[in-house]
Structure 1
Amino acid sequence: MGQEFSTARQSLVRRLATAIFGAPKYLKDPGLFHKMSLIPVLAWVGLGADGLSSSSYGPEEAFRTLGSHTYLAMALAAFAALTVFIISYAYSRIIEHFPHGGGGYIVASHMLGPDAGVVSGSALLVDYVLTITVSIASCVDALFSYVPQAYHVWKVEVGCALAVLLIVMNIRGVKESIAVMAPIFMVFVGTHVLLLLNGILTHADRFAHVAAGFRTGLSHDLSSIGIFGILMLFLRAYSLGGGTYTGIEAVSNGLQIMREPRVQTGKRTMMYMATSLAFTAGLLLVCYTLVGISPVAGKTFNAVLADTLFAGWPFGATIAFITIFSEGALLLVAAQTGFVDGPRVMSNMAVDSWLPHRFGALSVRLTMRNGILLMGIAAILLMLYTGGSVSALVVMYSINVFLTFSLSQLGMSRFYIQRRHEDPQWVRHLSVHLVGLILCATILVVTTFEKFAEGGWLTLVMTSAVIALCYLIKGHYRSVRKGMAQLDEALLDFPTSGIRNDADPCRNDLTAIQLVSAYSGFGVHTLLSILTTFPKTYKNVIFVSVAVIDSGSFKGAEELAALESSVQQGLDKYVELARRLGYAAECRMTVATDVVESVVEVCKELGEQYPRSTVFTGQLTFRLEKFYHRMLHNETAFAIQRRLQWDGLTTVILPIRVSI
């Protein structure tokens, strides 16, 4: 009765999880990658939204910084649009030469070395947490522009609730979450095209007045603060408006989710994003100037602009509300980028052992669940810490963005210098990356200097802490690999003697079911431990392995086929070794994202086929167990043991000692 109740409860929990997060993906579906990949328009929605939505706060911050010197806004608009195109073109080159994604982390790691890579990757991780936080906070600000002041005390709570909603949507799947948000994106594009064209066309007669104001303002400032003072003022406004460019790298990071041919899809998506961002950010600054926007308590500049421009229209208040509501909703879509690209950066770093390996794992929905949860929880904590202050978050956000941008441009500059004898156009490409490097480094230095006391210090502390943690994790994994290498050296090619056994395993003989991964000294050590601990006991040895689909292998059908082939080759080597040792042997393999579930199913089938069987698996054991070992080394063996013993299959964990 108790077992039936437990089974029913597990079934209910499973159905509830499926309803919320979606059903598992069928891994053998030949069209799986095509179904999950994004065409340019959807990629523009999912990844370009981060760049486009930054027009909601970047231009406003730049315009505010000008203060009374708004005559410089037109020049600022031109420079903003030019900067968007320069950085976008530079990242198009990155897409072309690094087609498997990874963006700034991969470029820095390959071109500047692993130390630069971990700095870039750590900055990106903090950046994507801030992407989520600042986008949600800006979304809440935009939406609350039309809510009475008395209700503004609930901003942080609403922001946290939206973060939880995005966590659930992204665990369901990237394409599914983007498809839901696509109509929001299109409403934003339509309403803002209408807003900006309305501002330009209905105020075209003010261009002459603005030009006259430029001459008057410039003449006044030349006599009061001089040309150097004007340049510093312009540079400060340009740099502190750097939030405008913060989402540009997202496309190069997220190439894995794009439809083949990925390079062409990525470059087209980058073109869509660059054009839409340059158009929107540049014309917003122009409209601020033409209309003469001034701050209104509780409202964003864009809300004031929409109210002003649509005031005389039929249903003008409704149109203005829809415009700003779509802006707030787009900012929510932009937070999506942090959930798409942040876990991918984490997985790339996990593959390189900078982060726990479990962050490279995929869920049954083929999403990086661990990374999504960590990014979402960190964003909620930052939301609570800053009280949802967009000004503070944008400062923190911009510093890490331009640190990564600068390293990427430096890496690509070195790339083209190294290829100067092979690429006839290397000078043209190099010049673009050098200009991008100068612009990004300038914004980084000015923003850090100006805003260090206003939140910049916290970004530097957070990023430094992540970098230090990465080095500690890397050092631990390096020590473990040295211990494992000793096992490989001692055991992989040891000689055998005795009579070879090529017979098939007999159903009624005692059978050892050994769980293995790749062919290594670890697996060989486990096999020899079985045979020496239980001498002349087992007649059959069945090797079981799971081809684990993680973020490193989930890049296309070819990668999956290579993974299966590699796992099968390792199993064949284990079978060959067991037969040379005189045992009847065979192997079983399955492809999955969850090792425990898959192994339990296979072992239960083998338990029915070979009723006198025992399951064996190895587990790393350290001389002094530390609190972080369970985080860095999965507890798969113990989870499998618990499940199989509940199902009546004897399971033995053999310790593999590693001295570090």
Structure 2
Amino acid sequence: MFTTIKRFLIGRPLRSNELEGQKLTKLKALAILSSDALSSVAYGPEQVLIVLATVGALAFWYSIPITVGILILLAALIVSYRQVIFSYPQGGGAYLVSKENLGVSPGLLAGGSLLVDYILTVAVSISAGTDAITSAFQSLHPYNVYIAVFLVLVITILNLRGLTESANVLAYPVYLFVLALFLVIVVGLYKIVTGQIPPDLHPQIGTPVAGISLFILLKAFSSGCSALTGVEAISNAIPNFREPAPKNAARTLFMMGIILASLLAGISFLAYWFGIAPEEKQTVVSQMAHKTFGNGILYYFVQATTALILVLAANTGFSAFPQLAFNLARDKFMPRMFTIRGDRLGYSNGIIFLGVASILLIIAFRGNTERLIPLYAVGVFIPFTLAQCGMIVKWVRQKPKGWIGRMSVNCVGAFITFSVLVILFITKFTQVWPVLIFLPIVMSVFKKVNRHYQDVGEQLRTEGMFQEEIRDNVIIVPVAGITTVVERTINYAKSLSDQVIAVYVAFDHEDEKRMEEKWEKWNNGVRLVTLHSSYRSIIQPLSKFLEIIERKAKENKYQVMVLIPQFIPKKRWQNILHNQSALLIRMRLLWEKDIVVATLPYHFKK
């Protein structure tokens, strides 16, 4: 039944040689990897206005120069990450750049930041998409968290079906969203040019504003920079592109930059010209579409596509997180399970982990997008800065042709991204301070995982190691009575060794005596040792007995083996009718040193 449900939700397994068919074209990659960056125009300009609104509506004209500054930063990031794509075509982005040029710790800081950022990408995108849905249907506001969790489950299943299928689903909503916003911008500009929008709805640029300060402007700028999250995703997922992968990735990055810059500039300008102020129950894009198209079908078209893109923007995280987790796991900083491809040739463990983590985050923050965005922005600007610095070191070391120009671009990018990072910490410290706690924890976990794999590798090497001689086996068979299962297990043990000992744990002396009499009458040629348990525990007395046997076996160079008889009911549910002693013994003994633990199953036929 489980297999049937799995096949229905995820689809048939794909052969390994079908991997090339799962690679992305430029148009599909633009949809699946740029949805996060493109969707951020739905809330990035709004974050600027939220900060400026604390001063008053007159301060809204500052959104225009702030947007210009964000566009300059976007241009620097696009050019910089284009260089990263061609320098590190194996993917990994900021993690590989930082690790190879700045050292392991900066690399882990970049990798950890990006992993956390992708979890936040899913949480923020889904939360923002839910906000867009409840803006149109305000009676659904009390169910924000439930809607968000359901949407995460849907997008997780979609990604488990594979890159190609998720891209096929994503392409239409992404391009419909771009079309919808361009319609809003074009129609809005037409109404402005034709005088249908009164010019007195907004303050004039340059109007003096009482109470404005550099601190507020920097805070508004750093909030607006949340519109740049997701720009790095393409450089992390280069292996997902069709060949030539680096060239296709670079072109996709350029297309994304052009579209993102156009939408960001258009939305910010219209929001200023229309005099739109942020509201609690209606987004800026919703207000803009309402003023442009009224309450007709085009308004709901904008809202529907906005909600879809905000929800499906989470797919950027689902596409980039598993690939980055694979790179970290390949370098032995994350569990190896993240390197395993699933039935549909995607890194299923990474997808499932991301889905669960984002659901927990949504529940913890109760789907409040505004509370998540500052952490989201910090998580992405740390690797932004480290990637720029890493590329600077790379050009200085290698000095290829034209390296001064390339380095200059990265210097500008490093300066701007580091400035934004500092501004975020200064202006929003009360919201972003958790970063200073969980990022060191994440890095510590990475290093502990790596240390474990190094220790395991050291202990598994055979070169130059002395192999201890084993003369024979001492086989211990725990028994609960004289049954067909026990008889079969005893006979099998005797076929392996002449030294077989049966062990029975009795809870009272009468039971102990009865078992000894039955065993003597059975007369199978195997010695029975009975252990008395005053506290009705099977594990404790058996464990102490094995310690004695193990010490004596070492002296004689014997290997101790515990052979556990276990019957298997015909129906799985019937397991709950039995006490599972064999399972408990096996779980305990697996942690014992120098003891071989084996199970001999006996399957019931009815």
What is the TM-score of this pair, normalised by structure 1? 0.69
Change (3 A) 1:176 1:395: same
User: Which segment is superposed worse, 457-466 or 181-190?
Assistant: 457-466
Q: CA deviation at 1:64?
A: 2.1
- CA offsets, 1:206-261, max 9 Å, x none? 7987998123x2xx35xx67xxx754443221112111101100100111110100
User: Does residue 93 in structure 1 map to residue 72 in structure 2?
Assistant: no
Report what 1:307 is aligned to: 290
Q: Decide which of 436, 453, 456 is 1:460's aligned counterpart.
A: 436
- CA offsets, 1:525-582, max 9 Å, x none? xxxxxxxx99xxxxxxxxxxxxxxxxxxxxxxxxxxxxxxxxxxxxxxxxxxxxxxxx
- Secondary structure, counterpart of 2:222 in structure 1: helix
Report what 2:311 is aligned to: 332
**In 2: Cα distance, 1:289 partner to 1:96 partner:** 39
Contact 1:23–1:365, Cα closer than 8 Å, also in 2: yes
**In 1: Cα distance, 2:46 partner to 2:328 partner:** 35
**In 1: Cα distance, 2:299 partner to 2:108 partner:** 45
Report what 2:226 is aligned to: 243
- CA offsets, 1:186-217, max 9 Å, x none? 211111110011122211367987998123x2
Report what 1:195 is aligned to: 184
Report what 1:58 is aligned to: 44
Report what 1:430 is aligned to: 407
- Secondary structure, counterpart of 2:136 in structure 1: coil
Q: CA deviation at 1:367?
A: 1.3
Report what 1:318 is aligned to: 297
**In 1: Cα distance, 2:149 partner to 2:66 partner:** 35
**In 2: Cα distance, 1:207 partner to 1:481 partner:** 72
Structure 1 residue runs of 4 or more that deviate by more than 6 Å after TM superposition: 206-212, 621-625, 644-647
Q: CA deviation at 1:276?
A: 0.8
Report what 1:276 is aligned to: 259
**In 2: Cα distance, 1:122 partner to 1:295 partner:** 33
Contact 1:80–1:282, Cα closer than 8 Å, also in 2: no
Q: CA deviation at 1:104?
A: 1.0
- Secondary structure, counterpart of 1:395 in structure 2: helix
Change (3 A) 1:210 1:23: same
**In 2: Cα distance, 1:111 partner to 1:383 partner:** 35
User: Does residue 488 in structure 1 map to residue 463 in structure 2?
Assistant: yes
Q: Decide which of 180, 202, 205 is 1:214's aligned counterpart.
A: 205
Q: Decide which of 338, 342, 367 is 1:388's aligned counterpart.
A: 367
User: Which segment is superposed worse, 387-396 or 67-76?
Assistant: 67-76
- Secondary structure, counterpart of 1:461 in structure 2: helix
Q: Decide which of 454, 471, 480 is 1:478's aligned counterpart.
A: 454
**In 2: Cα distance, 1:124 partner to 1:310 partner:** 39
**In 1: Cα distance, 2:143 partner to 2:198 partner:** 42
Report what 2:97 is aligned to: 107
Quote the RMSD (CA, aligned, Å).
Answer: 2.8
User: Does residue 361 in structure 1 map to residue 340 in structure 2?
Assistant: yes
Contact 2:218–2:427, Cα closer than 8 Å, also in 1: no
- CA offsets, 1:443-491, max 9 Å, x none? 111112222223x123332322211211211222222222234x23448
User: Does residue 155 in structure 1 map to residue 155 in structure 2?
Assistant: no
User: Does residue 260 in structure 1 map to residue 243 in structure 2?
Assistant: yes
Change (3 A) 1:354 1:307: same
The aligned runs of 1:366-445 (5 Å cut-off) are: 366-420=345-399, 422-423=400-401, 425-445=402-422
User: Does residue 139 in structure 1 map to residue 129 in structure 2?
Assistant: yes
Change (3 A) 1:244 1:356: same
The aligned runs of 1:66-81 (5 Å cut-off) are: 66-67=52-53, 68=56, 69-81=59-71
**In 2: Cα distance, 1:151 partner to 1:70 partner:** 30
Change (3 A) 1:624 1:192: farther
Contact 1:191–1:323, Cα closer than 8 Å, also in 2: yes
- CA offsets, 1:564-603, max 9 Å, x none? xxxxxxxxxxxxxxxxxxxxxxxxxxxxxxxxxxxxxxxx
Contact 2:60–2:272, Cα closer than 8 Å, also in 1: yes
Q: CA deviation at 1:409?
A: 0.7
Q: CA deviation at 1:324?
A: 1.5
Whichever residue aligns with residue 269 of structure 2, its letter is: V
What is the TM-score of this pair, normalised by structure 2? 0.75
Contact 1:63–1:285, Cα closer than 8 Å, also in 2: no
Contact 1:81–1:279, Cα closer than 8 Å, also in 2: no
**In 1: Cα distance, 2:111 partner to 2:11 partner:** 30
Contact 2:202–2:272, Cα closer than 8 Å, also in 1: no
Contact 1:126–1:462, Cα closer than 8 Å, also in 2: no
Contact 2:199–2:273, Cα closer than 8 Å, also in 1: no
The aligned runs of 1:565-644 (5 Å cut-off) are: none
Gaps of 5+ in 1: 1-11, 493-532, 535-620, 626-636, 648-660
**In 2: Cα distance, 1:303 partner to 1:209 partner:** 21
- CA offsets, 1:68-119, max 9 Å, x none? 3122222122222222121011101000100011111111111111111111
User: Does residue 40 in structure 1 map to residue 40 in structure 2?
Assistant: no
**In 1: Cα distance, 2:321 partner to 2:278 partner:** 34
Change (3 A) 1:34 1:450: same
Report what 1:469 is aligned to: 445
Q: CA deviation at 1:25?
A: 0.9
**In 2: Cα distance, 1:264 partner to 1:645 partner:** 57
User: Does residue 234 in structure 1 map to residue 217 in structure 2?
Assistant: yes
**In 2: Cα distance, 1:382 partner to 1:183 partner:** 28
Percent of aligned pairs with the same amino acid: 26
- CA offsets, 1:487-540, max 9 Å, x none? 234489xxxxxxxxxxxxxxxxxxxxxxxxxxxxxxxxxxxxxxxx99xxxxxx
- Secondary structure, counterpart of 2:344 in structure 1: coil
Whichever residue aligns with residue 488 of structure 1, its letter is: E
